Structure 1
């Protein structure tokens, strides 16, 4: 899958050919470049960057110097490439773009994880990802110390408000899902009221998502559930509220912000 994505990225950027490289660089020219961190960051996507170079030109030599999931100081050497100069310069932007984007997600995730350190809650992501990049973006979340929720709709049952509306009630929705899915598949129910939490517990849901609840409501839900079922705090989670949500006693805090709002970090390809 990653190979096909790289082909699309390269085709988008190169078009019919790199006019700059072809017009000014001799075909037999060789070069060596280093991919360096230009700020403190958590690294993600360096192996994808390496694949970009090799997929475009197998004659390029690539050596990954720092592994994904590493906290890097400014000036850390991430990747070394050498070979045909034309090819190196043609692929440069594509390789940098994906590494900057994924490392931005990893770095932002690490910031959120540090914010809830000392609580029992684990930070998890959502399905609010860039179309086509979900697997890579979720990998970046893990590189930053977070964890993944479902990778896709086939990864588990989450009964949300619209599902409940169609089914008629939480109880009916859980019963219907339970009768039709494999025994090891978990069922999560989204609740935005405490009476729904009680109904979800009685319906024997495996996980309960507390959606857009106040801190007091979440604390009351935690007290009522008493550890019988894992609880996930979600909905409108912001960096300045995530610590308080985690401190209510929920088991998970889910947010789309670590992916959707993560700024790209500064990484460059420099002459060695």
Structure 2
């Protein structure tokens, strides 16, 4: 069967995204746990390091050469250009971990077409791991030097579910602490694995739900194709099919409606 031009284009975009991740790793990993790491505070009181800035610059530089007509939306340098085809970049997701020497951080690279992420790459070089997906091409990770296809879990009961809630403070600040406690009381196991790593655990079938608040598009866009192509589902906490709602609920797919019902109880 001959692939459609759309599929061919996405494969090309995915190949580029993987090369962007290589370039990002080349900037971020040498600065991880560096004694001279430069750290400053942004207007929202979050931290930014010289590695965040250098990583996003490296990605933007390649895109300017290879996809000059595409738009870019990055955490550190904002949005520019087209929103029809827009690369969404989080140079270091988990900066707090990065600056404390905790290896659970990664670069997130997505291509969204008309607001829907179609390509996603997550690279966590301190763990030596990478995950990637494009619509219709499946979700994959590297495993002992070879590619392994991802599949979300087959857990079908909340009683057996393992979930990641990211942080108590997030839920409290969103006024949803009661919902978090309700989830924790209902499921088998709750943990806060944190940041992008939790979504990759979901895509690998190791946990069954991730939910969080106060997220920007660049915090979640790259995870969307990976979770979706692995058989899962991602929406906002209220079920809306958008990455712009400042909340996200990611599940193995089977349990999505059950979690929505549980979370939206009065």
TM-score, normalisation: structure 2? 0.28
Quick check: which one's helix share is greater? 1
Higher relative contact order (CA 8 A, sep 6+): 1
Quick check: which one's strand share is greater? 2
TM-score, normalisation: structure 1? 0.28
